[in-house]
Structure 1
Amino acid sequence: MKDIRNNDFNLILDQYKNMIHYHIHRMRIRDPHDEFLQEGIMALFLAWTGYDESKGDFNAYANRTIRFRLIDHLRKIIREQEKTDLIINEAHTKELIQQELDLLEKQEFWKRVKHTLTDKQWKWVYWYIIHGYAVKEIAVIERTTEDAVKNWGKEVKRKLRDSAFIQDCRK
């Protein structure tokens, strides 16, 4: 039997390239960037350099080497994707927790504001600040005059500038 290593690797590659494509196709791997083809060529090269003629047929050895190398590469990609997914999920979870904490803080803040104000002043905060309505729209909603709504706003600003309220919010 002739030693396979006496042949040029390009000849071996031409002869076994279809075997690489066969394994890629059989494993149903999409390989748009020829990443798996390169792994298969590397596996063939390793089989070619590491072949021991006393251990059996080169064809069977190359077949196993290519197949197992492609499987290992696929597992590596899957592991990397799982790690990436885990990092993304962890970041997403932290973001959701932070959003919940922010919402709770906002709710607590608005409760303090509401507790500090009268009902009419709170209506001004609710409609003007939180929902962004104009003074004219608030007057229509609350069935009052624009001047009354403006006065509610002036009182709110005066109360909220009060240092006791600001100190209370910092607690």
Structure 2
Amino acid sequence: MKKDNDQTFEEIFKQNERRIYYQMQRLGIKDPSREFYTEGLYAMWMAYKKYQPDKGPLATYFNYTIRNRLIDLLRKKASTLEVEEKNRKEAVTQLTEGNYIRNSHTPYPLPNVPDILLEDPIQWRKLKSQLTENQWKWIYFHILGDMSVKDIAIQENTTVEAVKSWGKQVRKKLKRMSEVGSFNFFMD
């Protein structure tokens, strides 16, 4: 079939529209959004514009162009899906791997206590026994876990001022204990 200057693209399209569906069916493409059909139509238009009669029949050129454009779109979609799946898996891994405290949709890693050198566990227990629960949280998260006061406040669902207050109370108790000499916690 040669390109006839008297035939418009609309006429040629009506005669060859089935080629798009045929190539989609051969490639096993389900197209509820008609994205692949549109790509096939565009491929047919480009083939119509670029067709050179001395290079072969128009029908063959349509088939070749439509098929290759559909394959390119399939590859692009598969690549995009791969990247999205990889990113999704990475996000899930970051949220679920290891020990985390979740509050307000923000993960906070728990300090890895075995990595902290506890030279005298008895002293740590003694300190914990003399502190309130919130004061110990300040020691555990701020001193041992190196979390900011703001992050602790978010995690514990309280104000920054409350967390600062816990820290002040801990420092007062430590100062008192060191003055009395009953607690030699930070000394070597």
Q: Does residue 116 in structure 1 map to residue 122 in structure 2?
A: no
* TM-score, normalised with respect to structure 2: 0.55
**Which residue identity does 1:27 align to in structure 2?**
L
Residue 38 of structure 1: CA displacement? 0.3
Which residue is 1:35 aligned to?
35
Which residue is 1:82 aligned to?
82
Do the aligned partners of residues 2 and 91 (structure 1) sit closer, same or farther apart at CA in structure 2, a change above 3 Å counting?
closer
Which residue is 1:141 aligned to?
none
Q: Secondary structure at the match of 1:33?
A: coil
Which residue is 2:111 aligned to?
105
> Residue deviations 1:75-126, cap 9 Å, x none?
1111111122222223233333575594642868xx99866345xx9xxx7x
Structure ranking higher in helix proportion: 1
Residue 3 of structure 1: CA displacement? 2.8
* TM-score, normalised with respect to structure 1: 0.60
Structure ranking higher in strand proportion: 2
Instruction: Say what the alpha-carbon RMSD is for the aligned residues.
Output: 3.8
Which residue is 2:94 aligned to?
94
Which residue is 1:69 aligned to?
69
How many residues align structurally? Answer: 132
Q: Which runs of 5+ in 1 are unaligned?
A: 126-160
- Identity, % of aligned pairs? 30
Which residue is 2:9 aligned to?
9
Q: Which residue of 157, 162, 169 corresponds with 2:170?
A: 162
Q: Which runs of 5+ in 2 are unaligned?
A: 101-106, 115-120, 134-168, 176-184
Do the aligned partners of residues 5 and 77 (structure 1) sit closer, same or farther apart at CA in structure 2, a change above 3 Å counting?
farther
For residues 96 and 174 of structure 2, the distance between their equivalents in structure 1, rounded to whole angstroms, comes to: 28
> Residue deviations 1:21-50, cap 9 Å, x none?
111112111111100000000010011111
Which residue is 2:56 aligned to?
56
Do the aligned partners of residues 57 and 165 (structure 1) sit closer, same or farther apart at CA in structure 2, a change above 3 Å counting?
farther
